[in-house]
Chains A and B, each alone.
Chain A
């Protein structure tokens, strides 16, 4: 009897380990995460507008239909990224995601504080390699450090009413995501 209980108990403990390891392994094993869905639609280091979600098709679940969205799927292997975007009349935001969809930085137009959003994205190594004098002028440059070499930049512009959607899309059409080769 005690032996049977021991077998069951060790089964439960092992089950706990199985549970935790499968949860932790899920992001590595997932084949339908946002980055994988966007890979066939977006060339690397280029700003691409996303099709708005409809009843039949949506690139990702739970997209906000009131927003126009554009994505830059970045790769910092060959240099840093300079992101520039005009600000729409209503509300514009930029969110940076890791390869595994973790939102590591987000900022809106008001916090960016200008008529255009200008950000530099680089790896911690590239940031450390920046020349001294350039770092001084960087005071009014917003520098974001990416935890990995690849990830996603998502720009979102709000259309407060459906008639303003073309304006929101025009704003995003002027946004750029440019690779800055190292000097």
Chain B
């Protein structure tokens, strides 16, 4: 008996960019156990000798804890702060920078839920620096000087297991606006590996403001390069994916970042053929700079057993900010369908973003501030990891409230005079995104991956927010199909196709869903539409072959499979299905050669394997 293989080949296109984090925020821990000193800006002249602030006793500990990780040779800061002479040479600048909280760079306001590696100076410490300068920058007793922090040069975690270096360096011009550049790193591994840490060395750290790694499992970004290895520009990038495989880490680098080592069971999977995309924000320095980043990978033998997910709140659709508008509010609210632990948070807006807040309202009504940034600054955006996982039960409402300033008073306004600004990917557009890394807890493993329920609820939420959005419907459909809710999936694909009647991916997906539901007759028209829009669309060609075969039009099916082979000659499934269609037409020798070809490409191709045996018997019996 001959039969055809399953036909759904392209069903999920992720609309989100999948961001990955392994990195923690700051390089240093909290200052612990140091008594807060009573201090006042105007007490200097009255200070008794005992209250004299000295570098060695009072200032060096602050500097070593909070500044030196970056302010040393080879790191991101423009000058070193390693000793008395270094600090004295920048003393007033340090007073200004700490009083305005420009330094150390730490955007969140203090809150009850603590972040790991918080890099925020206490008011008392800031006052101490001020008093030291006012008192004449006294060096003090050498015996009081704490040892310099032991900081590693080069790779922070030691020699990586695998180092990838960008194919081509980028030359950053001496002036002009900030540059957003993406480097593609193919990962030369032959089998699946598990990554416990990634260290990003973005080239000369002084010119790289921050960098993200995105995992591209299907090499979909390469098509954006002008030539292989060249990289490509763009501030916001999207990775397309055909399978439900929620990348669950936020891989982020900013100056001072120490690579974060994932706990056992939380490793990042890398397969053969995976590309890592390094998305960088570069700032001109006044002279041409050559940037050639490297990535160091640290492997673990332990596969992931705990699978977190990135959950996105957003509302770019609400972003339509009139010129001059000083306080434009955008919101989003999403209710969790499952119990989770919140591990990390990553807010993102562009240059109009001002006040950024997220909070959780628990089922019992208590409210927790997840993050509050009163003075947003894109240049210092970061991923913030909670010191302890935050338990959020099912039914918790997650809320985002971002406020934007599109007035002349916002110095970072990209338009002068202010102009209408809408949501978009360019740096002059605006964004309203919040990523939450969550780990499902208290679930029944027998019911499958709990992240699917979360993903479906998110997709449904997006459709409610944006009922006229093609991708919202498309992604919900794909999610429903992944959860075997085929009829509901078809309904959503139909809504998507109604919004974009000529869209190749939408028509192909709808056609494929009909094939999967064994309604081949209804599939044909949509697949033909997909091919009219994109005649070289392999998936649609293959699916059309299956749809025709499903209606017993084996000649038509064979024709489509042959056309599909012209597009992808090395596809075992097409070879096998072509063999099956030819066998149905009685063309047994040709069928046999296609089965054999399929098994050459993939010795385990099940249709070819099963059919070839049956075919031999049938040919022998004649």
**A and B form one complex:** no
Binding site for A on B (CB under 8 A): none
Binding site for B on A (CB under 8 A): none
